[in-house]
Chain A
Amino acid sequence: MRLSDIMGHADLAGYAEVALVLFLLAFLVIAIAVLAPGRAKEWERASRLPLEDPPRQTPPSPGAPPTDPSISPAAGAGARP
């Protein structure tokens, strides 16, 4: 007997509805998590993330070691293409 025969006789008529209910439940869980009381401050802070520009620092003096490899002279040099 092939797998397709087994599946064909498995009476999966309600299959799609089961999936629908599962996903509605998942959505409800997410909705509760998002709308849960006490998270307003967190969301307020998160919503402002695109507007936050971290402070800029003047380029370090030539002798000072960078704290991040990405600001090594090679990486930091902005010679235009």
Chain B
Amino acid sequence: MSSRLESFTYDDAIVRKFLIATFVWGLVGMLVGLLIALQLATPAMNAGPLLSFGRLRPLHTNAVIFAFAGNAFFTGAYYSTQRLLKARMFSDALSAVHFWGWQLIIVAAALTLPFGYTQAKEYAELEWPIDIAIAVVWVVFAINFFGTIARRRERHLYVAIWFYIASIVTVAILHIFNNLAIPAGPLKSYSIYAGVQDAFMQWWYGHNAVAFFLTTPFLGLMYYFMPKAADRPVFSYKLSILHFWTLVFMYIWAGPHHLHYTALPEWASTLGMLFSVMLWMPSWGGMINGLLTLRGAWHKVVEDPVLKFFVVAVTAYGMATFEGPMLSVKSVNALAHYTDWIIAHVHTGALGWNGFLTFGMVYWLLPRVFQTGLHSRKLAEVHFWLATFGIILYATAIYSAGVTQGLMWRAFDETGRLQYPDFIETTMRLIPMYWVRAAGGLLYIGGMLLFGWNILMTWRKRPATYEVPVIQAAALEPAVAEPAPAHAPAGVLARFMSAAWHRTWERLPVTFTVMTALAVIVASLFEIIPTFLIKSNVPTIASVKPYTPLELAGRDLYIREGCFNCHSQMIRPFRHETERYGEYSKPGEFVYDHPFLWGSRRIGPDLAREGGKYPDLWHVRHMQDPRSITARSIMPKYPWMLTNRIDFDGIQRRVDVMAMLGVPYGDAVNRAPQMARAQAARIASGIAAEGGPAGLDDKEIVALVAYLQRLGTDITRTTAQAPPRLPDAATPGPAPSGTRPATPGGF
């Protein structure tokens, strides 16, 4: 068979662009992280609406995940894909569209999230126009990537490419289906799913965003850059293939472990746990494969900062992927869920695995893509140690905080009462740990600044004109049937064992991609279809009615301020939870919740049964200045809610969209603003009568109070009691006033 030699070049300009963006956005994301860490330690750091914790937290997570880790993945993928496939990227224009499109999306996120434009879904907060842009740019990337595969000059797709393919395909599926929503304005939408189904979709997405945006792409990078840096092949190629397929098969099932003991059906929760525990094995297979790639090269680790970063990265991967399955076990999860333990787990992965793999990769790439020596190896060493101690400090503090929180929440005294009935007691215990965490973050950012300096100084030493070497490689011969071996195995079993079918399969990326997508889709459907279609999964509760138009507006304000980042709305069926918060949450209570707002963390107390616990005026004062109610509260102030006006006219469109989604709003689709005004006037006059400020009839605080006073009250109504009959403007919205029971919960 003839092998025609072809000449081509690599596009390293795109690699340089993504590399710089990785650093810039990484620094931004980490600085925002430091700010919100300080806001927890001292609430005075919350400066106005744009810089309050609830709005900045999603900016931090999005910046670190999609801007820092995303750009890092693209940097490594553009470099390694061209070399592994022996081909230039399919289209320089598509590469440019991908780069600039992605950066514009990040800028759009940075501009919208502080203004409170959010879908309220973790790691999927961005509103619908940005979601569409993400889908378009992702498709551009996919076309460019698969086009390069089609033009490749190397028949075998190296395992790193498999990981990239799985990531590209799965992220597209996850992103599209979790973000299905009906727009209710230029930057406002409602999820098409509600309650339990929305929670299920969100954590199907949320867990697999971690899997297919932060894990599989970086495993691809590991399988390429570790052998390169160590100058030896991966320890076991067979193990890498098993690693790949087991992850693809199992990861997608594990999402429900984020919803243990919630209103999610028990069977789905158990299934998620089992697959999560099984995930431990392939994950550690991958970790061992990575570490053993350095066999015989450990002496290099001492001298080479690149390998140092890689070793800690892979070790962090091992730690995080041991801890993940452990946290998915229900009894462990019962302690850890909603606590800082989860935050510690996430940061072990993000700072250790994603961060260190990125640093190692970039230090390895710098001399190659800028065609000069690394500015300072010593600075890279200092960066390594600063960042390592930063992680240790961070992790020690936050693991301690998480376990402390979990144990204090569930502690009973000898008389059988909650030992710490006041939530603020548990918060105060964590403050010293929050300071240590901030110190750890500061060290990590210090290392990041050295990293930036090294990049800058290396870039300044670049040649006047980059050399673009011309590469030669044999053209890929058309795919033809494998030549028959001299001694063909006889019999069906023998032919199967020879695995020629698998060889052919690996070389056909279309089939391979379809099979990967099928593994992901089928696994998803096995969980999603029953959750959506089996009626018994979400038993209906007759007394649960839609929110009134004003409550809906208040709910949107709750979303805008990011209250769900600190307060859950999901009481688990544990005695210590029902004692503290009230009756445990039922699936049927959330059937009109587009989106669900169960939250994933309790920096403050759960609010699922908040309705009626306090008088309306209590909420007004609390939102105006939480420390006027609870002296040591770390909650930000929201004084602007007492002056900002409610957009009454905008409520109609929101009610209409809810009605489109199947919420039985009846006559409210015709006169939502009038109904909202009437309810607002009643609440405002009540607040004034209680001795509060007058003239709140059209202020946002009234809508928020209406929503908070409705929370969790529907199931306590009997059918004999009048439910909030929405179509009737004369029917008062449920705005019960009352006093709080014996377990106060200001945060």
Contacts and interface: CB of A to CB of B under 8 A. Distances in A.
A50 B86 CA distance: 11
B423 to A, nearest CB: 37
Interface residues on A, range: 35 or more
Contacts, number: 155
Nearest to B536: A8
Interface residues of B, number: 69
A62 interface: no
A50 B159 CA distance: 10
B231 interface: yes
B469 interface: yes
A59 B472 CA distance: 11
Interface in B484-528: 496-499, 501-503, 519, 522-523, 526
Interface string B154-176: 10101110000000000000000
B647 interface: no
Interface stretch (B240-248, B294-302, B555-563, B683-691): B240-248
A38 interface: yes
If over half of A's interface residues share one DSSP class (helix, strand or loop), that class is named, otherwise mixed; here it is helix
B233 A78 contact: no
Nearest to A78: B466
B174 to A, nearest CB: 19
A68 B6 contact: yes
Contact of A57 (B83, B467, B471, B530): B471
Interface string B1-24: 000011111010100110000000
A36 B499 contact: yes
A38 B485 CA distance: 12
A50 B221 CA distance: 11
Nearest to B10: A70
B497 A54 contact: no
B88 A67 contact: no
Contacts of A4: 532-535
A44 B83 CA distance: 18
Contact of A50 (B84, B274, B501): B84
B288 to A, nearest CB: 15
A54 B526 contact: no
Contact of B233 (A31, A39, A47, A56): A47
Interface in A1-33: 3-5, 7-8, 12, 15-16, 19-20, 23, 26-27, 30-33
Contact of B242 (A34, A36, A45, A66): A34
B519 A26 contact: yes
A71 B535 contact: no
A74 to B, nearest CB: 10
B717 to A, nearest CB: 25
Nearest to B537: A8
B471 A51 contact: no
Given A59-B470, A60-B7, A80-B466, A51 B233 contact: yes
A16 B267 contact: yes
A7 B469 contact: no
A48 B448 CA distance: 33
Nearest to B12: A78
Contact of B7 (A46, A67, A81): A67
Nearest to B293: A47
A73 B530 CA distance: 58
A64 to B, nearest CB: 10
Contact of A36 (B83, B160, B274, B498): B498
B472 A55 contact: yes
Contacts of B232: 51
A43 B231 CA distance: 17
Contacts of B100: none
A63 interface: no
A78 B470 contact: no
Given A8-B534, A79-B465, A81-B13, A16 B271 contact: yes
A76 B468 contact: yes
19 contacts: A7-B535, A8-B533, A16-B526, A27-B246, A30-B241, A30-B242, A43-B238, A44-B233, A46-B237, A47-B234, A59-B470, A68-B7, A70-B88, A75-B9, A76-B468, A78-B465, A79-B465, A79-B466, A81-B13
Interface of B: 5-9, 11, 13, 16-17, 80, 83-84, 86, 88, 92, 154, 156, 158-160, 223-224, 227-228, 231-234, 237-238, 241-242, 245-246, 249-250, 267, 271, 274, 462-473, 496-499, 501-503, 519, 522-523, 526, 529-530, 532-536
Top 8 nearest A-B pairs (CB, nearest first) are A78-B466, A33-B502, A7-B533, A47-B237, A8-B535, A47-B233, A36-B499, A19-B526
